[in-house]
């Protein structure tokens, strides 16, 4: 965004820096933040159903929500939960702060990439990520970061739209995927469940519904005892 402000001699102060892999996604969510809640009301009603309540009811201890967005999960957490949330987009975070204040929910919010979480190893008992791994450029790296910040025996809770459960649905998803990637960097054919064993998780619960397009997963980080 500062390309027109290069320094003297044409080298600029960004010389040698790698491109920001999150730049495009940040621009998308900054652009779409004002419309996001309206879109999600329809998607939640038709597709997600009770998915947010399922996810948050399993959260315990010190909780991190990755890609917290506008805070649509906040009303579903138990009162008094110890909450931290991160998101790539300042505009989405501003809406999350407003929602938290309206609800009287205490939460620490900060701007961060899902693939570079600003927390020490084993900082959280639960990590929650809802409807975000479909859009994060490097979903494998994001899951690895979630594992890193969880204590051994901590719980990872995922909710996302995934590749469907039958041929017709999968075919439709593959057809629309190029358009959705162009418009919103939104992958239609991912399935985060497949990333969990190699990242050091053991799946404890999983459920698919809405023709297999919505999947919710609870997994435990290897090496400790679950809460």
Digit-by-digit pLDDT tens for the chain (227 residues) are 333 323 334 334 445 677 899 999 999 999 999 999 999 999 999 999 999 999 999 999 999 999 999 999 999 999 999 999 999 999 999 999 999 999 999 999 999 999 999 999 999 999 999 999 999 999 999 999 999 999 999 999 999 999 999 999 999 999 999 999 999 999 999 999 999 999 999 999 999 999 999 999 999 999 867 66
CA distances from 187 to 55, 190, 204, 216 (A): 21, 6, 25, 17
Angle between the N-to-C axes of helices 90-103 and 23-43, in degrees from 0 to 180, rounded to the nearest 10? 40
Distance between CA atoms of residues 121 and 148, nearest Å: 5
Element housing 119 (H / E) = none
Q: Report the alpha-carbon distance of residue 137 to residue 146 in Å, rounded.
A: 15
pTM: 0.90
Distance of CA 147 to the CA centre of its chain: 14
How open is the CA angle 97-103-105, to the nearest 5 degrees? 70
């Amino acid at each position: 965004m500062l390309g027109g402000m290069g320094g003297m001699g044409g080298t600029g102060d960004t010389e040698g820096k790698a491109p920001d892999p999150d730049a495009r996604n940040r621009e998308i969510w900054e652009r779409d933040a004002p419309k996001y809640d309206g879109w999600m009301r329809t998607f939640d009603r038709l597709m997600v159903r009770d998915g947010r309540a399922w996810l948050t009811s399993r959260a315990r201890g010190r909780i991190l929500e990755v890609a917290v967005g506008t805070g649509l999960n906040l009303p579903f957490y138990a009162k008094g939960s110890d909450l931290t949330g991160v998101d790539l987009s300042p505009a989405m975070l501003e809406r999350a702060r407003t929602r938290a204040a309206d609800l009287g929910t205490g939460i620490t919010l900060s701007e961060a990439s899902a693939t570079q979480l600003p927390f020490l190893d084993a900082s959280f008992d639960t990590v929650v990520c809802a409807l975000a791994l479909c859009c994060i450029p490097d979903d494998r790296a994001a899951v690895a970061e979630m594992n890193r910040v969880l204590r051994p025996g901590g719980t990872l809770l995922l909710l996302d739209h995934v590749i469907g459960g039958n041929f017709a649905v999968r075919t439709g998803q593959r057809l629309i995927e190029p358009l959705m990637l162009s418009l919103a960097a939104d992958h239609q054919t991912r399935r985060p469940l497949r990333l969990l064993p190699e990242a050091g998780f053991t799946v404890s619960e999983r459920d698919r519904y809405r023709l297999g397009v919505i999947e919710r997963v609870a997994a435990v980080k290897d090496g400790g005892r679950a809460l």
